[in-house]
Amino acid sequence: MNLEVHLVLRPLGTPTHDNFGLVESKVPGLQVGEILVENEYISVDPYLRGQMDDIDSYIEPFALDKVMGGDAVGRVIASDHPEYSVGEYVAHMLGWRKYAVIRPDDWAKPGEVGEEAINLLRKVDPELAPASAFIGVLGMPGLTAYAGILYVGAVKPTDVVFVSGAAGAVGSLAGQIAKQRGAMVIGSAGSDEKVRLLTHEFGFDSAFNYKNEAPADAIARLAPEGIDVYFDNVGGDHLEAALAAMRRFGRVVCCGYISSYNESETPPGPRNFWNVLDQEVTIRGILVPNHYDKWDAFYREVGPWIRDGRVQYRETVFEGLENAVDAFLGLFTGANIGKMLVKI
Ligand SMILES: NC(=O)c1ccc[n+]([C@@H]2O[C@H](COP(=O)([O-])OP(=O)(O)OC[C@H]3O[C@@H](n4cnc5c(N)ncnc54)[C@H](OP(=O)(O)O)[C@@H]3O)[C@@H](O)[C@H]2O)c1
């Protein structure tokens, strides 16, 4: 029997348990060219909140009474495809369910880019890291950090880099990649425990708890000469504070705006936008599927850093599909350190 989490009601503001339903279903029989995957971990991600709304976006909204999608990783337990053997692990996008039936020939492969590549099927290399890492530090969030820091932000050794949401999946790797590049790195996070982790384990030069100190005050204290790159996971007061501190030819990597994902009204933009003009700042967004041509380079460069411990990663794991909703809601209260996952 399969177990799935469905979207049953579109949320207004912050989602609750009422928006989801746990549903049992039959696992369909395997057709020609298909594989059956038993998921071991599913990923819950902030961007899924956007897909719960029926809005026009680069990514299709979830249908009501259908399974919540997103990254998952599991073991092939039956195969009618010559390139996939029983026992191999794959990462896919079929989301919050125990079993997934996949026709590999219909899926995008690493190297393809753009919206069509969102439904990506990747084989897991067990030599590199445990399977869960392939939907976390070596998965979509990891690639976002890599492409955001090295390509969009074009971080240089002389840069001062500020990363918000720094103890999360993307932020913790973004800051560490900037450190590997030789930059000075400041992080913000929502608890003293996370701040300590950033400076004592992830190698950030400094960090602050934005719940105890306004971002503008903290950046002025920690980077009195200003910053060159802001990797934005949060938006709101963080973005405004970063713009105020921007040095000449600074860069802003627009990665995410989690502080407003549950707002029903779009919040006003930064009041000091003119600093972009004053300091000749470049602001550029990142949509990670448009960087899916970089998987190989990412594995080659970041894989060894993970393996030899130069780059650290954390996972917060909820047990059981019945706790997937709590894990997802926990993203908006800061319940995770590193990648938020659900073990099936
Ligand atoms: N553009 C892309 O292609 C792309 C790809 C992946 C992710 N993203 C974005 O990147 C960001 C990070 O994603 P992730 O997967 O790494 O999630 P994450 O950082 O692992 O988890 C979310 C974190 O956001 C923080 N947060 C929640 N509400 C907040 C608020 N109101 N103000 C400030 N911080 C808040 C919480 O940490 P604290 O305890 O520190 O508050 C929470 O742990 C998200 O905005 C996501 O949408 C974008």
Token pair for 333? 């209260």
Which residue, judged by its Cα, is nearest atom 36 of ligand 1? 334
Strand, helix or coil for residue 21 = strand
Cβ neighbour number for residue 184 with a 10 Å cutoff = 19
Ligand 1 mutation target, pool 170, 192, 340, most atoms within 8 A of CB? 170
Q: How far is the CA of 288 from the centre of ligand 1 (A)?
A: 14
Q: Are 81 and 20 in contact (CB under 8 A)?
A: no
Give the C-alpha separation, 262 to 10, whole Å: 12
Nearest to 340 by CA among 207, 89, 165: 165
Give the C-alpha separation, 54 to 257, whole Å: 18
Q: How far is the CA of 168 from the centre of ligand 1 (A)?
A: 6
Which residue, judged by its Cα, is nearest atom 41 of ligand 1? 190
pLDDT of residue 266: 82
Q: How many CA atoms lie within 13 A of 338 on its CB side?
A: 22
90: left (phi over 0), alpha (psi -120 to 50) or beta: beta
Ligand 1 mutation target, pool 233, 234, 318, 342, most atoms within 8 A of CB? 233
**Cβ neighbours of residue 91 closer than 8 Å, sequence gap 6 or more:** 71, 72, 73, 120, 121, 122, 124, 134, 135, 139
Q: How far is the CA of 22 from the centre of ligand 1 (A)?
A: 25
Which residue, judged by its Cα, is nearest atom 18 of ligand 1? 168
Q: How far is the CA of 140 from the centre of ligand 1 (A)?
A: 13
Ligand 1 mutation target, pool 230, 258, 298, 336, most atoms within 8 A of CB? 258
Mean pLDDT of residues grouped by 10 in the chain (344 residues)? Answer: 97 97 94 98 97 89 96 98 97 97 94 88 90 97 98 98 98 98 98 98 98 98 98 98 98 97 89 97 97 95 94 98 98 98 98
Q: Are 318 and 327 in contact (CB under 8 A)?
A: yes
For residue 316, give the amino acid letter. Answer: T
235: left (phi over 0), alpha (psi -120 to 50) or beta: left
Q: How far is the CA of 39 from the centre of ligand 1 (A)?
A: 24
How far lies 37's CA from each of 9, 16, 31, 123, 139, in Å? 28, 29, 14, 12, 18
Global confidence as pTM: 0.97
pLDDT of residue 344: 96
Which residue, judged by its Cα, is nearest atom 45 of ligand 1? 256
Q: How far is the CA of 227 from the centre of ligand 1 (A)?
A: 21
pLDDT of residue 59: 84
Give the C-alpha separation, 153 to 150, whole Å: 6
How far lies 207's CA from each of 95, 157, 175, 210, 314, in Å? 34, 19, 11, 9, 17
pLDDT of residue 336: 98
DSSP code of residue 148: I
Give the C-alpha separation, 95 to 100, whole Å: 9
Token pair for 89? 């692990």
Nearest to 314 by CA among 194, 161, 144: 194
Which residue, judged by its Cα, is nearest atom 9 of ligand 1? 256
Residues touching ligand 1 (Cβ under 6 Å) are 45-47, 141, 144, 165, 167-171, 189-191, 194, 233-234, 255-259, 286-288, 331-332, 334, 336, 340
Q: Are 176 and 207 in contact (CB under 8 A)?
A: no
pLDDT of residue 125: 87
How do strand 89-92 and strand 160-163 relate by DSSP bridges? unpaired
